Amino acid sequence: MRKQLRIVGVETDVLRFAPGSPYSDAIHDFGPERGGCVIRVLTDAGVTGWAYSSFGMIGGGPRVVETIIQQELKPALIGQDPTFPKRIRADLWKAVEYHGVQGVASFAIAAVDIALWDVIGKAAGMPVYKMLGAFRERMATYNMCGWYYPNDADLAHYKRSITAALEEGFRGVKIKVGRGPVDEDVRRIRVARELCGAALPIMVDANQVFNRNEALRRGRIYQEMGCFWYEEPLPPQERDGYAELARELDIRIATGENEYTCYGFLELLKRGAADVVQPDNRRAGGVTEWMEISALADAFGVAVASHGGGVTNLHMLLAMPNSIYMESGSIKGDSSALEPLRMKDGEMLAPESAGMGSELKPDWVRKYRV
């Protein structure tokens, strides 16, 4: 590895995909608007760091991320040594201070940080989970498959989706709850349990839809039905409500996909407001921030699981002793990644290539570039 590297360029592409088939959770309707922003950090050593910030909805999001990267972050990046991600994070926070480091700015900062770690791993010739200090070589994973689908009163589509995940080899599923009355939740959980059998974990995710009373009332039912965790019962800002639920219920309270930075997570942890924290590697702030969040959680005796999947979540999970689950969709037919994820016995295997594994196939990027 050369003694010093320099960032000499920052390239971005906005991607847009054709509308997909619609699906929903308690508050979101997905399908019509999907896209993302690709970032490439170029160095004087010829090593390029890649990252991709995806948006499952909000058609304008990727363009905003690109604008923040190009107009606000790039000037702070050019000339820096990419092997100094903590120093660079401090500079990027200054660069966006006027509008704040949370929200879409955090998506942009996270993408830069992931790309920096891709450079670091590639320059050293090692997968990033080892550079972070590896703890394990495989990570338990579950499939987010129990969505709400249109015209699915008989739950046929819902059943097909769970069955497909189990056939693919996943040994745990997450299902959405809270969009309808409690009887419907009970029916959805029963159907999932029939398909999964007694042993596999079933996580339920309410996507912020309840108030405290309803969250508690339904939480007791999910708990009684043996669900593994109860995710995002309340809006993220209601941290005292989360603390109340965590005190009142024995089922694990999982949350964090809408928290930003380690300071946001500290507010949760200080209140005892979560049993499992779920940093999202776009909102939370990137690899550097993610590692600090999970270390904080570890000190509070709290487990960590990723919000979302893919290789850019896998590296940090492999490097933390308190990580319990990676979230994933189907890993079949991913045409974008150079090194596809591999699953064995329901666990994701450690990536073998150097870097973050975040480099994308050039023809895939070309195909969807706006």
Which residues sit at the interface with Mg ion, rule CB under 5 A? 205
> Which C-beta is closer to Mg ion: that of 53 or that of 207?
207
Q: How far is the CB of 351 from Mg ion (least distance, A)?
A: 24
Identified catalytic residue from 74, 307, 332, 361: 307
Catalytic site residue 176?
yes
Rounded Cα gap, residues 370 and 33, in angstroms: 13
Three-class SS state of 170: coil
Number of H-type helices and E-type strands within the chain: 13, 15
Residue 340: what residue type?
P
Catalytic residue (one of 86, 176, 270, 361): 176
Which residue in this structure is represented by tokens 């909000």? 58
| Rounded Cα gap, residues 207 and 178, in angstroms | 8
Alpha-carbon Rg for the chain in angstroms:
20
Q: Are 97 and 39 in contact (CB under 8 A)?
A: no
- Closest to Mg ion by CB, 205 vs 275, is 205
Measured distance CA(40)–CA(116) in Å, rounded:
9
Q: Which is nearer to Mg ion, 206 or 343 (CB)?
A: 206
Largest CA distance in the chain: 63
Residue whose beta carbon is closest to Mg ion: 205
Closest C-alpha among 319, 274, 271 to residue 295: 319
Q: Report d(CA 118, CA 286) in Å as an integer.
A: 12
- For 60, the enclosing helix (H) or strand (E) is none
Of residues 205 and 244, the one with the C-beta less far from Mg ion: 205
What the block records as the tokens of 65 is 């991320």
Nearest approach, Cβ of residue 315 and Mg ion (Å): 21
Asked if residue 128 lies in contact with residue 119, where contact means CB atoms within 8 angstroms, the answer is no
- The tokens describing 229, both together, are 């965790």
Residues in the chain: 370
Q: H-type helices in 69-181, by residue range?
A: 74-77, 85-95, 104-124, 128-131, 156-168
Q: 14 pairs with which residues across the strands?
A: 37
Has 332 been annotated as catalytic?
no
**Which residues are known catalytic residues?**
176, 307
